[in-house]
Amino acid sequence: MTQLSVNINKIATLRNARGGNRPDVVQAALDCERFGAQGITVHPRPDERHIRYADVKPLRSAIKTEFNIEGNPIPSFIDLVCAVRPEQVTLVPDAPNVITSNAGWNTVTSREFLTETCALFKEAGIRVSIFVDPDPEMVRGALACGADRVELYTASYAEHYAADRDAAVAPYVRAAEAARECGLGLNAGHDLSLENLSWYIRNIPWTDEVSIGHALICDALYMGLERSIGEYLDRIRNY
């Protein structure tokens, strides 16, 4: 079954808006696990506008499920991940000035850099996933770089889902089939929601993991965190 990894960045955003430690991101991660999440995702950025580098080690010590750290592999990020050794690192090519991730890697033009980075993390015993657009060429390029998985960037799927869900998911099916043919594991994330998640999983049931944060936390404002996680798990299980 596809696993749900809850991205807790938005919980850290709320904490940072006021200062102090409320809400407590470590306790929030533990609650997400208690409510059924099979993993926790964080995306520390250099400006620390949500998850801070200092949050990552306490989270590593507390989390009992899978820990996924995603981000742009700049030197400080690489040092952090190698020190913490999560189960998975997801390489995302986000520039420092972007509000949120807005593109996948070009695994062909960035092959040398990604190959070196994958090798470094794998030497540390960390599974490596590369964030890519839904393009079979980029998927095959990730394999050539030494990745263990790809994470398909699902913003385009979410954007076009309401107008034509079949057309929206079609390029993702092609990319997912390429990953399966290559023997790569398959993740997905960005703008997946209660409205569009089931259709995605129905069409790509071999997805290993979805990483969901923003929509899940927005839903939790109205229904509570426990019920929100339960609803997302229901969409995954009953697609």
Q: DSSP alpha helices (H): ranges in 35-146?
A: 53-62, 75-84, 111-123, 136-145
In the chain, what is the straight-line distance between the N-terminal and C-terminal CA atoms, in Å? 11
Q: CA 2, CA 18: separation in Å to the nearest integer?
A: 35
Q: CA 231, CA 17: separation in Å to the nearest integer?
A: 28
Instruction: Name the residues annotated as catalytic.
Output: 43, 70, 190
- 91: CB partners within 8 A, 6+ apart: 70, 71, 72, 73, 105, 114, 117, 118, 128, 129, 130, 131
